[in-house]
Amino acid sequence: MPRSVPIPQAISVLTIAGSDSGGGAGIQADLKTFAAHGVHGLSALAALTAQHTRGVTGVHVPPTGFLRAQIDACFDDFRIGAVKLGMLASATVIEAVAGALERHRPPHVVLDPVMVATSGARLLEEDALEALRTRLLPLATVLTPNLPEAELLLGREIGSLAAMAEAASALRALGAPAVLLKGGHLPGTGDVVDILVDAEGERRTAHPRLALDAHGTGCTLASAVAANLARGLPLREACAAAVDYVHAALRGGFRPGKGEVVVLDHFAVMPGR
């Protein structure tokens, strides 16, 4: 009889986020990113959206008890190296997720504070903002906001690179050990600059600005950071590699719908292969 060969348990990364029926952002983008990075993707749906390349037409939030059941099932069976948090629409959902993270204590948590869709639709209820600040930020390994999200979290405008650096430090002071502030929304035609602030100080990365109306970049970046951390990369290396990955996926982007929005090619490069 053939001798069975033991197969070691693979590393998994869990996304707790919203589902995008259009396939370009949310959990769908997260799972494609995990696959490209060579890690097993798990998902717990915190929201369901009806959306396409022209906008969001509906949002449904499942009962929090079922969300907890999804998260607990994943931790009960899989070796989870990191958790990525995306769209968490209400304070009740945030409390449920924070409680689950406190119970299971994953090695890394990447928090993408999804508040507004690319189309402009608001994805976060008003009462959830303070819960995100007080309950999730202290549990995060790294926070990955874009400029509009950072402005909402801090209650002030961010209109320059100098203001970005100050904002990243101010966000870190709220409780997250590291902040990767994305500069794609900063006006201008030059390079897109992202700023990482952690215990070692500040680090900037720059890439040429692409003339694209893209969808799912924030989800993809946070998921790439989580996958890199789960694979054992140090935080700074994990963030830099994730930014490079998103830029390459953007360059390979395509238009699957009737709208002008470009969806990333998550398999344009395969960092984990």
Q: Kindly report, residue by residue over 214-248, the tens digit of the pLDDT.
A: 889 999 999 999 999 999 999 999 999 999 999 99
| Every domain of the chain and the residues it spans | 11-263
**Integer Cα distance of 117 and 109 in angstroms:** 22
Q: Which residue has the higher pLDDT, 71 or 128?
A: 71
Nearest of 195, 187, 189, 194 to residue 211 by alpha carbon: 189
Please give the sequence-ordered ranges of beta strands (E in DSSP) within 8-156, or none if there are none: 11-20, 40-52, 55-60, 79-85, 109-111, 142-143
* Confidence check: pLDDT of 212 > 90: no
Cα separation, 214 vs 180, whole angstroms = 19
Q: Using the predicted structure, report yes or no on whether residue 42 has a pLDDT greater than 80.
A: yes
- Residue carrying the six token digits 């369901």: 48
Res 84: pLDDT:
98
% of the chain surpassing 70 pLDDT: 94
Percentage, residues of the chain above pLDDT 90: 71
Cα 217 to Cα 78: distance, rounded to the nearest angstrom: 27
Taking the domain 11-263, which CATH number applies?
3.40.1190.20
Tokens, residue 247: 């830029």
Q: State pLDDT tens for residues 59-68.
A: 899 999 999 9
Average pLDDT, rounded, for the chain: 91
Contact 14, 43 (CB under 8 A): yes
Structure tokens at 145: 């906001």
Contacts of 101 (CB under 8 A, 6+ apart): 83, 109, 139
CA angle 242, 246, 250 (to 5 degrees): 170
Confidence band of 127 (pLDDT split at 50, 70, 90): confident
**Which residue, chain included where needed, has tokens 């897109």?**
192
The Cα 156–Cα 168 span in angstroms is 12
DSSP 134: I
Q: What is the Cβ-side half-sphere exposure of residue 197, based on CA atoms within 13 angstroms?
A: 18
| Over residues 67-71, mean pLDDT | 98
Output the pLDDT for position 116.
65
How far apart are alpha carbons 142 and 147 in whole angstroms? Answer: 16
CA nearest to 179, candidates 90, 112, 81, 270:
112
Better-scored residue on pLDDT, 185 or 71: 71
**Could you tell me the two tokens for 92?**
């009740």
In this prediction, residue 183 has a pLDDT band, given cuts at 50, 70 and 90, of confident
